[in-house]
């Protein structure tokens, strides 16, 4: 038995609270249920025509988890999820995603929904074969595939070579303010430019090759429904972060993802389907927290957007993606999706609005350790960072002993 406190260093939290993770996942489910009631969305059982069987590749946290929750609890979809998590034991904690998956499965089953979650390497052909068998076992076909993988490494299924991704600028050193969310300290951080094979290796891990492979193998197995759509997630962000993100190694990977979306789209058109990249809003995540300038930018962004009433977290954004972009036809049926000139869905429209960015440009140069409370939503980004790991979640007694680290109740 032990009291679990967050173990944090330099914007990285290395542990998770099982009860807190479960509670936070339930909070997201309850939000979607409230939106369903507000919008009058019909589930399949209520005569709706939304998604029936949804596959989420990278289902355990962030946008992937939020997408799975939206599909299941607003539309009544059966879902299959895959992610690679560290499993908890009675005495050793698991990753936040492991607890999130346990909670999702528990709540979906209680709601009478089919759910299957696989703790496996989503890059492996063996995992794809397992998923295909599960779809066939359910005697169904998939009509929506969410691709939301974020991984530092990938083993190529053909060559068995291990590739590693890096978050680095290209061509020159990148320097920017680094805000430590927990201490409020601001330092100048520099990141050296990518060297050697770091750019192609990052594209190999975080680009669209694996997404394309997923769709190809699912299609060849005959488990895609007519009209099946697939969506992968990306980020562009403001010009001030382009050197480290959009024009850096991760940006090159995202550009590859967007390019391959066109190939996948052409393939799915043969069965009346489509492929999209959704460009989402910047949020506090396990990876964004360690990129120079990003944490400070997000702190200012949150403050500005909350003042305007347009701030969204993962679950708010994914619920809006489903309800206001994907399933806008009669009885929530799939309808024409609004896209930009590159066939991308722009969920970052509120973040990149001219008035929002103008206010951020005004505030960013003025931020100091002394005026953090006035210029940055430090409480908001700190809460989001902790909540990802199951801490600072309302209704959880963090002074209580946790007798079994593998249980979520």
Catalytic residue among 75, 163, 233, 245: 245
Query: DSSP string spanning 378-395?
Result: HHHHHHHHHHHTT-S-TT
Strands 53-57 and 142-147 turn out to be parallel
How far, in Å, CA of 307 to CA of 321, rounded? 22
How far, in Å, CA of 406 to CA of 99, rounded? 8
Give, for 274, the enclosing helix (H) or strand (E).
strand 274-279
- Which residues are within 8 A (CB) of 277 and not within 5 positions of it... i.e. 6 or more apart? 231, 232, 233, 234, 257, 258, 261, 342, 343, 344, 345
Q: Could you give phi then psi for residue 179, rounded to 5 degrees?
A: -100, 120
Q: Is 61 annotated as a binding residue?
A: yes
- Check if 245 is active-site: yes
Write down how long the chain is. 409
Q: Is 59 annotated as a binding residue?
A: yes
Strands 8-9 and 12-13 turn out to be antiparallel
How far, in Å, CA of 3 to CA of 341, rounded? 52
Using a 10 angstrom Cβ sphere, with 0-12 exposed, 13-18 middle and 19 or more buried, the burial of residue 182 is: middle
Q: Is 118 annotated as a binding residue?
A: no
For tokens 């944090």, name the residue: 8
Q: Is 63 annotated as a binding residue?
A: yes
Q: What is the gyration radius of the CA atoms in the chain, in angstroms?
A: 21
Query: What b/e readout covers 274-309, taking b as 16+ CB neighbours within 10 angstroms?
Result: bbbbbbbbbbbbbebbebbbbbbbbbbbbbbbeeee
Dihedral angle sign, alpha carbons of residues 320, 326, 328, 334: negative
Annotated binding-site positions: 58-63, 84-85, 121-122, 149-150, 235, 254, 283-285
Catalytically annotated residues: 245
Annotated binding-site positions for substrate: 235
């Amino acid at each position: 038995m032990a009291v679990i406190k967050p173990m944090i260093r330099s914007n990285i939290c290395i542990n998770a609270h099982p009860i807190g993770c479960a509670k936070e996942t339930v909070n997201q489910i309850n939000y979607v249920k409230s939106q369903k009631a507000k919008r009058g969305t019909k589930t399949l059982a209520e005569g709706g025509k939304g998604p029936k069987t949804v596959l989420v590749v990278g289902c355990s946290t962030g946008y992937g988890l939020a997408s799975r929750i939206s599909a299941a609890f607003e539309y009544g979809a059966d879902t299959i999820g895959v992610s690679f998590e560290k499993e908890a034991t009675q005495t050793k904690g698991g990753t936040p995603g492991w607890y999130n998956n346990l909670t999702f499965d528990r709540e979906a089953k209680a709601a009478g929904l089919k759910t299957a979650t696989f703790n496996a390497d989503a890059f492996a052909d063996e995992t794809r074969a397992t998923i295909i068998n599960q779809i066939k076992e359910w005697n169904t076909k998939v009509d929506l595939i969410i691709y939301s993988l974020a991984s530092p490494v990938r083993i190529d299924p053909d060559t068995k070579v291990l590739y590693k991704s890096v978050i680095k600028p290209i061509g020159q050193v990148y320097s920017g303010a680094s805000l430590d969310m927990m201490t409020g300290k601001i330092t100048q951080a520099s990141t050296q430019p990518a060297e050697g094979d770091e750019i192609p290796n990052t594209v190999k891990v975080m680009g669209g090759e694996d997404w394309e492979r997923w769709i190809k193998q699912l299609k060849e197995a005959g488990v895609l429904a007519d009209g099946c759509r697939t969506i992968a997630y990306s980020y562009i962000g403001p010009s001030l972060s382009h050197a480290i993100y959009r024009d850096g190694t991760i940006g090159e990977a995202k550009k590859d993802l967007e390019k391959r979306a066109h190939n996948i789209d052409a393939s799915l058109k043969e069965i009346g389907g489509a492929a999209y990249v959704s460009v989402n809003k910047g949020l506090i995540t396990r990876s964004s927290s360690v990129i120079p300038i990003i944490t400070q930018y997000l702190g200012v962004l949150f403050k500005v957007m909350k003042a305007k009433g347009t701030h969204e977290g993962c679950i708010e954004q994914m619920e809006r993606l489903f309800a206001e972009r994907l399933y806008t036809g009669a009885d929530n049926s799939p309808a024409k999706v609004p896209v930009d000139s590159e066939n991308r869905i722009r969920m970052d429209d509120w973040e990149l609005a001219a008035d929002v960015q103008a206010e951020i440009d005004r505030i960013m140069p003025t931020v100091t350790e002394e005026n953090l409370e006035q210029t940055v939503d430090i409480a908001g980004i700190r809460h989001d960072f902790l909540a990802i790991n199951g801490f600072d979640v309302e209704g959880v007694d963090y002074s209580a002993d946790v007798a079994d680290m593998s249980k979520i109740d």
